[in-house]
Amino acid sequence: MDIDGVRRTFTTLAMEPFHSDTRRSGVATTGLGWGNCCVVHWRGAAEVILPFCQRRACNADAEGGYVDIVDFAEEERSKVQDTIAKMEERGLSCLALAYCEVNRASFEHAHSTQSQNEGYSIQNSLQGTDLTLLSVVGMKDTCREQARDHVRKAKEAGLRVIMVTGDSVAAARVAAEESGILDGISYADMVVGTWISEIGSVGAGIPW
């Protein structure tokens, strides 16, 4: 496939870079012959993207294109969540890919009038448009051997090693075990960021 050739057929209308707070990135594009239509693609942490998805693409053809768009029913949503949980237990970080089609003129007007506002997101210009889930992708960051060695030396020096990560609890657990940070780690040994926010001050009552 001529990737550069494909890219030349599209025009980028707006981009939203990945940010650790939103944990997603987005791009709005249009193409030759699309008329007054633009497509907004999102990718980000599965738990961030999935709540916006009300439909899903399925039944890929021989070329890898999807031929059916169906409602994202609760039964299917539960299956996807179960699959994500199993992937995270293997140490995979799960990204969801989704898109929506919107009126180009309406999108460009909303984007031009709102994009200078603090905290603006492309999502603000979609006027509540639901997304269609394309795929969930698992990504694995391999633990480097020197990381294990550094952790071991730190422990031998009497230091307690703590890992801070944006990954899910399940994926973080695998990473901590692989790097030797904690042996026999349990969920009781892990602190979730939302809990830190709820107790009001970082470090208060946390056993580190």
Query: What are the two backbone dihedrals, phi and then psi, of residue 78, each rounded to the nearest 5 degrees?
Result: -65, -40
Number of domains in the chain: 2
pTM: 0.73
Same domain, 107 and 32: yes
Same domain, 55 and 113: yes
In which domain, by residue range, is 127 found? Answer: 3-139
d(CA 115, CA 25): 15
First to last CA, the chain: 52
What SS3 state is found at 198?
A: helix
d(CA 116, CA 14): 13
> Can you say how many angstroms the Cα of residue 84 is from the centroid of all Cα atoms in its chain?
12
Query: What are the two backbone dihedrals, phi and then psi, of residue 41, each rounded to the nearest 5 degrees?
Result: -105, 135
Assigned domain for 208 exists: no
d(CA 106, CA 134): 24
CA–CA distance from 176 to each of 72, 156, 179 (Å)?
34, 17, 5
User: Which domain-ending residue is among 139, 171, 186?
Assistant: 139
Same domain, 190 and 106: no
User: Which domain-ending residue is among 90, 105, 139?
Assistant: 139
Same domain, 100 and 179: no
Same domain, 163 and 117: no
What SS3 state is found at 144?
A: coil
User: Which domain-ending residue is among 122, 139, 156?
Assistant: 139
Same domain, 171 and 70: no
Same domain, 126 and 150: no
d(CA 26, CA 140): 22
Assigned domain for 206 exists: no
> H or E element: which one contains 192?
none
Same domain, 87 and 43: yes
Q: Are 72 and 55 in contact (CB under 8 A)?
A: yes
| CATH number of the structural domain spanning residue 112 | 3.40.1110.10
> H or E element: which one contains 104?
helix 104-114
Same domain, 101 and 178: no
Same domain, 59 and 150: no
The tens place of each residue's pLDDT in the chain, 208 residues long, gives: 678 887 788 888 888 888 888 889 999 999 877 888 899 999 999 999 999 999 999 876 656 666 788 999 999 999 999 999 999 888 888 999 999 998 888 888 877 877 777 777 776 666 556 899 999 999 887 777 788 889 889 988 988 888 887 777 778 888 888 888 877 655 556 676 666 666 655 555 555 5
Same domain, 23 and 116: yes
Q: Which DSSP letter does residue 160 get?
A: P
